[in-house]
Amino acid sequence: MTLAIATDRLTKDYGARRVVDGLNLRVPTGCVYGFLGRNGAGKSTTIKMLLGMVRPTFGRVELLGHDLAALPPSVRERIAYLAEGQPLYGWMTVAEASRFARAFHPGRWDGRKLDQILDHFEIPGRAKVRRLSNGQRANVALALAIAPDPDLLILDDPTLGLDTVARHDFLLSLIHLVQREGRTILFSSHILADVERVADRIGVLVDGVLRVDCPTDRFKEAVSRVVLEFPGKPPAFPGCAGLVQAWEVGRRLELVVVDFGDDQRRVVESLAPLSWDAASMSLEDAFVAYTRGPRRSLPVFDDGPPEAPSTATSADRGAA
Amino acid sequence: MQYEISGASRLPIYRQLVEQVREGIARGDLKPQDQLPSVRQMSRDLVVNPNTVARAYTELEREGLVANRPGRGVFVAEPRADLTKDARRKRLIETIDRLLTEAVNLGFSEEEVARLVAARSRQFHWNTPNSAPK
């Protein structure tokens, strides 16, 4: 498996505050990677370090197999970036913005494809950028990012501020883009339903630490909510492997657990509840439970439990 | 046949697709030799990653519900003759046991479950005529 993005103990301090802490991010070539975390978790800082716009306090970045510090122009050309808020110069026309962007990718610019996309969204080249709607501007920015046919595309919260229809169109363009084999996309987002639709893998940053790094389906299938009913006040939960959260609601004890299995079942049954039930959660609920839990004890989450190699291999095949 | 996925579902997207195809076959909306949409088409229609659709199709193929004919597409398979009656019976019993466990957890009695199953079975559109209850 080759990696499009590999970081080694990537760390950033702002003064005394560590915003990114020892990040070992590994994004396989051809993967669509959803990069998640709450506001202030360190996503944008990480993305800026990936692109060399913020200097790490410690650690290294490799993009497309090359050290970021010595990235040859021929490799840099194969990487495209869409910044948060899709900044474009408002005084330019769409055609001028295209000429401007082309200068950064002289050898790889596909003007015909760009025109096709702009045409599809019915955006005329003579339109002033500042007169475009948010959705149109996002699509122009994406079209400009795609025009050099990048092998690696990094998007910082690309659907922020778009309405449902504009987001749908944007994701559709992204899907079209994925359908060229071997292209890698990393995007950050807060809209979990979007992430689930397009991402093969997700990474979740919690306070600058990568707590989750696994196939999207695996995260959804592995986090479960367990509800125990008692005749009176529930006993204190003694804890178990993979516990994210435990709290009392009246006569119920509710748990969020990663990889609920026989060991956890034994702990639950040892409390002799009247009844209990374990169920999986939607990606959004799983994400909320996971990122709201007590930070220090969060179970770190990767490709899967060793006893389930078959799911890991099918997921690998799916991502290939 | 219409497919749809929901972000609010507890099931991963590939499982939602697997379930819909499975139900489509059980209800007879999908018949043997019917062609499913291509991975590319399905991925665009539903706005999901093509790998997710491919994973659903791989899963369905593994279960013997569809057959992939390279270069032509994915088709609904003929009803399974490769599994012995015993093996099919075993698989059904596992499903029934799961249903009973759920029923107990939800606090239903044995009689209530039996009544419900009989009532649902009368409403169910049985696909093959020889398995229809008289």
A45 and A189 co-located in one domain: yes
Distance (Å) of CA A313 to CA A316, B62, B94: 5, 14, 25
A54 and A110 co-located in one domain: yes
Bridge-based pairing state of the strands A201-206 and A79-82: unpaired
What is the arithmetic mean of pLDDT over A12-28? 94
A179 and A65 co-located in one domain: yes
The domain boundary, picked from A145, A179, A207, lies at: A207
| Residues of B with Cβ-Cβ distance to A217 under 8 angstroms | 12-15, 52, 55
A159 and A264 co-located in one domain: no
A174 and A224 co-located in one domain: no
> CA-to-CA distance for A223 and A280, rounded, in angstroms?
6
Write down the pLDDT at residue B83.
Answer: 67
Ramachandran bin of B93, using left for φ above 0, alpha for ψ from -120 to 50, beta for the remaining angles: alpha
> CA-to-CA distance for B134 and B126, rounded, in angstroms?
11
Write down the pLDDT at residue A311.
Answer: 37
Stretches where chain B sits below pLDDT 50 are: 131-134
Distance (Å) of CA A132 to CA A87, A164, A273: 12, 17, 59
What is the arithmetic mean of pLDDT over A18-40? 93
Block residue for tokens 């339109």: A127
Write down the pLDDT at residue A8.
Answer: 95
A196 and A225 co-located in one domain: no
| Residues of A with Cβ-Cβ distance to B14 under 8 angstroms | 217, 318
The answer to whether residue A313 is domain-embedded is no
The answer to whether residue A320 is domain-embedded is no
A125 and A260 co-located in one domain: no
pTM of the model: 0.80
Number of domains in chain A: 2
Residue A91 has pLDDT above 90, yes or no: yes
> pLDDT grade, residue A320 (50/70/90)?
very low
A238 and A90 co-located in one domain: no
Write down the pLDDT at residue A318.
Answer: 35
A123 and A201 co-located in one domain: yes
A170 and A145 co-located in one domain: yes
Block residue for tokens 């991502």: A319
Q: What domains can be seen in chain B, in order of their start residue?
A: 13-76 (1.10.10.10), 85-131 (no CATH)
Going by C-alpha positions, the residue among A264, A270, A257, A263 that lies closest to residue A297 is: A257
Segments forming the whole domain that contains residue A290: 218-304
CATH code for position A163 = 3.40.50.300
Q: Which sign, positive or negative, has the C-alpha torsion A22, A28, A29, A33?
A: negative
A132 and A256 co-located in one domain: no
The answer to whether residue A17 is domain-embedded is yes
pLDDT in tens, B63-84: 889 999 988 999 999 876 666 7
Contact B56, B17 (CB under 8 A): yes
E strand spans, B27-85? 66-69, 73-76
CATH code for position A293 = 3.30.70
Identify the residue among B6, B11, B17, B49 best suited for mutation to test binding to A, counting A beta carbons within 10 A and taking the highest.
Answer: B49
Share of residues in chain A with pLDDT > 70 (%): 92
A103 and A14 co-located in one domain: yes
Identify the residue among A216, A229, A274, A285 best suited for mutation to test binding to B, counting B beta carbons within 10 A and taking the highest.
Answer: A216
* φ and ψ of B14, to 5 deg: -65, -35
